[in-house]
Amino acid sequence: MLLARAGFPATAEPPGFIDPEWAPVAACPLCASGSDVHQPFASHAMGTLVIRYLLCERCGLVFQSPRLTTAALDRHYQHEYRKRSHSQEHDPRKDRWVQERRAGHLAAVVRRHQPQFRRHLDVGSSFGILLATFSREFGSEGYGVEPGVSDRMEARATGQHVVATMELLPREAAGTFELVTLSHVLEHLPDPIGTLRLVRKEWLAAEGLVLVETPDLYSHPSFELGHLVAFSEQTLQGMLSAAGFEVVELRRHGKPYSRILPLFLLAVARAAPTAAGAPLRRPRPSWIRIRRWLGMTRLRWARLAARRLLGGRQQEPWVD
């Protein structure tokens, strides 16, 4: 990850990528402010491709701009995401290992708030590990939404009810899901508020819960092609509030990777009794940059210390 210096040259089309369909983001995905209050924040080099992020001075959201167009994103997630996102994995077991342990952790979180529920919707369900875990732990009927063709087919092969988009969910299921999960999904969405509103209005049961997990801007590298937004605690709470939710739990944690590094944000929310969202607090951009730098420095030192302690040995092929 390369932290950009102020004033890096903006380009409409990052070079060296097979799909040239890029577009700038004119309005902040959280507060809808215009480009006059967006300032360069960071850049991330992937070979000859440079992905750039902006910081909204009004609400503090960090978001990718320019980014792939909607059509290019659809193609990316349907056919390319799994190959690109896993192209550097040393062991194909890693993703399954992570998803199984993440599912166990999220089940423990849900149990504190919703010990029993009948229907569960997992948006971004991959090959169905979270659905299967919750079905086993809670006896729930699970439905998944997964745009990736290969992941969706793998989930269906195990008997999971998984469709490509929310529009393809059975209409009789509308308003019946007592739990909706979006685990490492919100940062991939061009319109995260719109998706959360759709979940609340169309699919969530009256007393249902939404569970969201994302990388933490201040502790996780975060920046990659598919990550259109990098959330802090403030901006994740702002997203949920703007979509009509009230947060009942919001915390940082490192599971399943670390007990001490707060790599992720986890939020549990329910539909708010009133539509008005909480006002956004104006951030201090300099403090956001400092916290990001401190977090990445801490992560680098932690990785170095782990390698030294292991003496070059790895307990698992994916330990870093």
What DSSP letter does each residue of 216-280 carry, written as one string?
BTTTS---STT--EEB-HHHHHHHHHHTTEEEEEEEEE-TTT-SS---EEEEEEEE-SSSPPPPP
Rounded distance between C-alpha atoms, residue 222 and residue 319, angstroms: 18
Q: What is the mean pLDDT of the chain?
A: 86
CA 276 to chain CA mean position, Å: 24
**Domain contains 73:** no
Tell me the CATH number at 238.
Answer: 3.40.50.150
- Tally of domains in the chain: 1
pLDDT in tens, 71-99: 887 776 765 565 555 444 445 577 788 89
**Domain contains 128:** yes
**Domain contains 137:** yes
> Whole-prediction pTM value?
0.87
Counting DSSP H helices and E strands in the chain, the numbers are 8, 13
Rounded distance between C-alpha atoms, residue 77 and residue 64, angstroms: 17
**Domain contains 221:** yes
**Domain contains 45:** no
The yes-or-no verdict on residue 18 having pLDDT over 70 is: no
Q: Which helix (H) or strand (E) holds 52?
A: strand 49-56
pLDDT in tens, 107-118: 999 999 999 999
**Domain contains 296:** no
**Please, which residues bridge with residue 55 across strands?**
39, 62
- Domain of 104 in residue numbering reads as 99-271
Q: Which helix (H) or strand (E) holds 179?
A: strand 177-183
Of 93-102, 127-136, 282-291, give the lowest mean pLDDT range. 93-102
**Domain contains 13:** no
**Domain contains 53:** no
Amino acid at site 303: R
